Amino acid sequence: MKKTTWLGIAFLVLVLGYLVMSSFRKQAFRCQVCITFKGRRDCGTGAAQTEMDARRTATTIACAQISGGVIEANQCESTPPDTIQWLARKEGASKEGY
């Protein structure tokens, strides 16, 4: 095989390895957010390295189930949640998004 083929294969293996390792990394924050939007209620669970990202992910998941389209999803995500339950919080981890 050519040298460029081996380099391409090595690069692909490295990228796939990174994706697998990052998906199995334990997230610092995990929460469940419940939202009521237009009379419908759903809960979503999110996990991330920051508190803000975990909450945003959980909100997006909950709103995806109860909204009908992009506009409603955006409106739903702007709605204050009914409840936020923190399932995991790592001490010393970043609570901010940035």
At 80 the three-state DSSP class reads: coil
pLDDT per residue as tens digits for the range 34-59: 999 999 999 999 999 899 999 999 99
Burial 13-34 (b: 16+ CB within 10 A, else e): eeeeeeeeeeeeeebbbbbbbb
pLDDT per residue as tens digits for the range 69-97: 899 999 999 999 999 999 988 765 555 54
User: What's the pTM?
Assistant: 0.69
26 band by pLDDT with thresholds 50, 70 and 90: confident
Residue that has been written with the tokens 């391409």 in this structure? 8
In sequence order, which residues have a C-beta less than 8 Å from that of residue 28 and are 6 or more positions away?
A: 48, 49, 50, 88, 89, 90, 93, 94
Domain spans in the chain, listed from the N-terminal domain onward:
26-89
- The tokens describing 98, both together, are 């940035």
